[in-house]
């Protein structure tokens, strides 16, 4: 099963790539990420245990944990890529690729999820469809929206969390 979600960002793609490539900083940047524990580094590749919260009702959320290998590929400036291979958790067997491509206003960030996990008696698409609808899409959408806000300067990192910036002050006053 292959799904994708995307968002337009009014900022250079390299800025988005640089913000997102260091998964160890995600809990500082993304309010729905509780922890990222880097277990192993090998060159540009990182294996990390990640815990995010999937909202359920208002402030209540369901923690979701997985282990993934992550690496970046910036060799093609017209398609900067962040790649993840999920190694543990309900998403084991899922490959995730972020495509960050230039557009007329900045860049388009698309996240593709390729889920190939098979379960006997459940069918090839039942588990991936459930996981995508109730977990992956929710967390990935929040991730994209937050990185968009960070890249566009709507949010900035102060202390240990991403916080809203102050609204711009107009020089022209009220006319």
| Model confidence pLDDT, tens digit, residues 52-77 | 987 776 667 788 899 999 999 999 99
What length does the chain have? 175
pLDDT value for 173: 38
Between 50 and 173, residue with greater pLDDT: 50
Kindly report the number of other CB atoms within 10 A of residue 147's CB atom: 26
Query: How far is it, in rounded angstroms, from Cα 101 to Cα 23?
Result: 20
Percent of the chain with pLDDT over 90: 53
Task: Specify the pTM.
Answer: 0.81
pLDDT value for 160: 54
Which value, in Å, is the radius of gyration of the alpha carbons in the chain? 17
Domains present along the chain, CATH in parentheses: 2-160 (3.30.530.20)
Of the candidates 85, 94, 87, the one whose C-alpha atom is nearest the C-alpha of residue 135 is: 94
Query: How far is it, in rounded angstroms, from Cα 109 to Cα 93?
Result: 23
Q: What is the pLDDT of residues 117-131, one digit of tens each?
A: 655 545 555 555 666
Q: State mean pLDDT over 88-107.
A: 91
Q: What is the pLDDT of residues 28-49, one digit of tens each?
A: 999 989 999 999 999 989 999 9
């Amino acid at each position: 099963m292959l799904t994708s979600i995307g968002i337009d960002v009014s900022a250079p793609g390299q800025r988005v790539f640089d913000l997102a490539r260091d998964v160890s900083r995600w809990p500082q940047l993304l309010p729905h990420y509780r922890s990222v524990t880097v277990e192993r580094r090998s060159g540009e590749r990182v294996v990390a245990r990640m815990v995010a919260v999937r909202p359920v009702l208002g402030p209540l959320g369901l923690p979701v944990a997985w282990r993934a290998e992550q690496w970046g590929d910036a060799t093609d400036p017209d398609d900067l890529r962040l790649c993840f291979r999920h190694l543990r958790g309900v998403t084991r067997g899922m490959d995730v690729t972020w495509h960050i491509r230039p557009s007329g206003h900045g860049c388009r960030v698309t996240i593709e999820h390729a889920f190939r996990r098979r379960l006997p008696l459940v069918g090839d698409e039942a588990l991936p469809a459930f996981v995508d609808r109730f977990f992956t899409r929710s967390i990935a959408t929040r991730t994209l929206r937050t990185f968009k806000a960070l890249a566009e300067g709507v949010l900035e990192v102060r202390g240990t969390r991403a916080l809203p910036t102050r609204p711009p002050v107009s020089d022209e006053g009220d006319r």
